Amino acid sequence: MTWEGSHRSWRRHRQGDGAATDVALAAQLLVVALRTGLPVVAALERVAEHSGPQVAADLHRVLRGYGHNPDEPALAWASAPDIWRPVCTALTVAAQAGVHPGPLLATAARDMLRREGEAHEAAIGRVSVRLVLPLGLVLLPAFMCTTVLPLVLVMTRRQLTG
């Protein structure tokens, strides 16, 4: 997948998603940028260019941190919101171990998207319960009045007259 194709699909996908999804998708875009051979700072600049306003603002703060401490990713990421912690951890561990950060970032992004998906599923479950409860409170009395009560009255009348 090319850099340009990746960022176009990312922008299309991110419309309407939450902050954790934006960060996870930015991390995936960062992986693509790093796979093209860009250094971390240049990759962060490219991702910031092609991101929404909040992600771009967060990444610009981080880039200023890299300007002060280019060899210390943890210090550079200290100004980022907590939602960026998995990305910070992946880059810090990769820098300390001397390995390419791509696989660690990809894993962090996948985990963030999985957690976000689980949170969405839990929210959908709560909404479905909240929708069914009022429906049951309306339909149960109606069922009782139109089906059970007439049946009981007919059976009682037969018992009393017969």
Q: For tokens 């093209």, what's the residue?
A: 36
The mean predicted confidence, pLDDT, of the chain is 85
pLDDT band at 7 (very low <50, low <70, confident <90, very high): very low
* pLDDT at res. 162: 66
CATH assignment of 3-122, given 1.20.81, 1.10.287, 3.40.1340, 3.30.70? 1.20.81
State the pLDDT at residue 70.
73
Q: Which helix (H) or strand (E) holds 53?
A: helix 53-68
| The residue to which tokens 């943890």 are assigned | 74
Domain extents in the chain: 3-122
58-104 pLDDT, tens digit per residue, is 999 999 988 887 778 888 898 899 999 999 999 999 989 999 999 99
Average of per-residue pLDDT across 112-134 = 90
Per-residue model confidence (pLDDT) at position 18: 66
**pLDDT one-digit tens code per residue, 22-49:** 999 999 999 999 999 999 999 999 999 9
Which pLDDT value is given to residue 138?
Answer: 85
pTM greater than 0.85 (yes/no): no
3-state secondary structure 66-100: HHHCCCCHHHHHHHCCHHHHHHHHHHHHHHHHCCC
Q: What pLDDT does residue 32 have?
A: 95
